[in-house]
């Protein structure tokens, strides 16, 4: 087989890249080791930046998102027995976020690719990348399940644990990472959200987040020890702890109900540089991971894909390699801004060592500053809704 772009991974990055290339007349094949059912049910991020919403609409896959997604024009920071709203409509006019689950984005993209006759293959085995070395006689190609896919370019969109990044020779990449001494216990519950907007809560018991997926489904997170097992958290204990952390404001009552899903997410910051080698280009979690506090993972993947699409369009239209050569540098500017924002939100709202009284006073001081200074609140809002493209 032959195609112009071989794409490894059928998550949001790989599927959106394939669709954007299709709209520009560029062929691709998407290879995914998981089943279609698995990737369409895999619960991940749910907060879409303004730029991500715009990108999906421009690609013609935003109709259901606009109909069913939940636009939000602010978030609440809750600490010290009071809630403080960060009003996006005042601080960053015309920009907001939309709550719409990553699995829903994936469903929309798969439907669009298949409707357009796209070649998306699920449950492929033994995927391997070859021919990346500069000057290779064969050029880049991918093998899988006894087959071979020759291509001009390979896009590694297969996540942190995928095969793309390890295919780059040792010593080429610089790795920057940080692991946090806690994790998030996340749940989905069939309950009406107790708030119209997301609530980020800092307490002496630890961090908690109240989010939602629809008018009838809520999403919650609890800061827990890094070695936590889901088995340690029966439903009753989860609700008790969520109440203890969220019901810290007079008049607020948390609605409880059936929990349909539980999972523990480790907290990690990770970046590799450069995000390319030969004709292999990494996008999304294959190149960078952020702690979920800043809601940047999916949005960074979409940003990578936008840059890569523009570069590939130039390459296949007139042979220009300038944008492809500058792909990593262009992406990393936004990646590192998002890394800092996610680290900052994480350190601002989570409880660290029990005896770190100094650190806790610093947290409270900065929370007071963010919630009382329009300039500080604007910085948070601008980063949260996503910086405009080109900056």
pLDDT digits (tens, 9 = 90+) for 166-186: 999 999 999 999 999 999 999
Instruction: Please tell me whether residues 152 and 234 are part of one structural domain.
Output: no
* 49 pLDDT above the threshold of 80: yes
Residue 250 counted as domain residue = yes
Q: What is the pLDDT of residue 341?
A: 97
* 391 pLDDT above the threshold of 60: no
Instruction: Please tell me whether residues 223 and 287 are part of one structural domain.
Output: no
Torsion sign (Cα): 151, 152, 158, 162: positive
CATH of the domain at 359: 3.30.9.10
Task: Report the range of poorest mean pLDDT among 19-33, 37-51, 67-81.
Answer: 37-51
Residue 89 counted as domain residue = no
Q: What is the pLDDT of residue 354?
A: 73
Instruction: Please tell me whether residues 272 and 134 are part of one structural domain.
Output: yes
Residue 189 counted as domain residue = yes
Average pLDDT of span 298-309 = 97
**Greater pLDDT, 171 or 353:** 171
Domain count, the chain: 2
pLDDT digits (tens, 9 = 90+) for 82-114: 999 999 999 999 999 999 999 999 999 999 999
Average pLDDT of span 147-163 = 97
> Domain of 195?
180-267+351-385
**Both tokens of residue 328?**
């990593």
pLDDT digits (tens, 9 = 90+) for 269-289: 999 999 999 999 999 999 999
pLDDT-derived band at 45, boundaries 50, 70, 90: confident
Instruction: Please tell me whether residues 134 and 169 are part of one structural domain.
Output: yes
Residue 62 counted as domain residue = yes
CATH of the domain at 120: 3.50.50.60
Instruction: Please tell me whether residues 155 and 169 are part of one structural domain.
Output: yes
Instruction: Please tell me whether residues 319 and 360 are part of one structural domain.
Output: no
Length of the chain: 391
Q: What residues contact residue 232 under an 8 Å CB cut-off, 6+ apart?
A: none
Task: Report the range of poorest mean pLDDT among 134-138, 186-190, 347-351, 380-384.
Answer: 134-138
Instruction: Please tell me whether residues 43 and 123 are part of one structural domain.
Output: yes
Instruction: Please tell me whether residues 212 and 311 are part of one structural domain.
Output: no
Residue 391 counted as domain residue = no
CA distances from 382 to 138, 150, 227, 371 (A): 46, 42, 34, 15
Mean pLDDT over the full length of the chain: 95
Instruction: Please tell me whether residues 27 and 57 are part of one structural domain.
Output: yes
Instruction: Please tell me whether residues 159 and 17 are part of one structural domain.
Output: yes
Catalytic residues: 72, 200, 292, 296, 384
**Greater pLDDT, 355 or 57:** 57
Instruction: Please tell me whether residues 233 and 134 are part of one structural domain.
Output: no
* Per-residue exposure over 280-304, b if at least 16 CB sit within 10 Å of its own CB, e if not: bbbbbbbbbbbbbbbbbbbbbbbbb
pTM of the shown model: 0.95
Instruction: Please tell me whether residues 19 and 107 are part of one structural domain.
Output: yes
As a whole number of Å, the CA-based R_g of the chain is 21
pLDDT-derived band at 390, boundaries 50, 70, 90: low
Average pLDDT of span 220-237 = 96
């Amino acid at each position: 087989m032959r195609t112009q772009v071989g794409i490894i991974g059928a998550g949001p990055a790989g599927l959106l890249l394939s669709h954007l290339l299709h709209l520009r007349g560029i062929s691709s094949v998407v290879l995914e080791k998981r089943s279609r059912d698995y990737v369409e049910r895999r619960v991940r991020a749910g907060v879409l930046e303004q730029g991500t919403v715009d990108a999906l609409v421009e690609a013609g896959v935003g109709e259901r998102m606009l109909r069913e997604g939940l636009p939000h024009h602010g978030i609440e920071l809750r600490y010290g027995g009071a809630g403080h709203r960060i009003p996006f409509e005042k601080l960053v006019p015309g920009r907001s976020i939309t709550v719409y689950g990553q699995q829903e984005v994936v469903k929309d993209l798969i439907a669009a690719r298949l409707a357009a006759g796209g070649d998306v293959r699920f449950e492929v085995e033994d995927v391997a990348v070859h021919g990346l070395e500069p000057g290779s006689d064969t050029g880049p190609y991918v093998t899988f399940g006894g087959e071979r896919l020759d291509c001009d370019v390979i896009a590694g969109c297969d996540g942190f644990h995928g095969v793309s990044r390890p295919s780059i020779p040792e010593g080429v990449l610089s790795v920057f990472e940080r692991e946090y001494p806690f994790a998030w216990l996340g749940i989905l519950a069939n309950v009406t959200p107790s708030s119209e907007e997301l609530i980020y809560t800092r307490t002496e018991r630890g961090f908690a987040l109240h989010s939602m997926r629809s008018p009838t489904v809520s999403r919650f997170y609890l800061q827990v020890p890094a070695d936590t097992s889901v088995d340690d958290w029966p439903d009753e204990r989860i609700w008790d702890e969520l109440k203890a952390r969220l019901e810290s404001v007079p008049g607020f009552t948390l609605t409880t109900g059936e929990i349909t899903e539980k999972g523990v997410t480790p907290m990690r910051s990770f970046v590799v540089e450069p995000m390319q080698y030969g004709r292999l280009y990494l996008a999304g979690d294959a190149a960078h991971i952020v702690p979920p506090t800043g809601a940047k993972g999916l949005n960074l993947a979409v940003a990578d894909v936008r840059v890569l699409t523009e570069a590939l369009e130039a390459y296949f239209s007139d042979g220009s390699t300038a944008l492809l050569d500058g792909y990593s540098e262009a992406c990393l500017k936004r990646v590192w801004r998002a890394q800092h924002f996610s680290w900052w939100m994480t350190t601002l709202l989570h409880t660290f060592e029990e005896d770190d009284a100094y650190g806790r006073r610093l947290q409270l001081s900065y929370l007071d500053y963010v919630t009382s200074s329009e300039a500080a609140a604007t910085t948070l809002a601008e980063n949260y809704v996503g910086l405009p493209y080109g900056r």
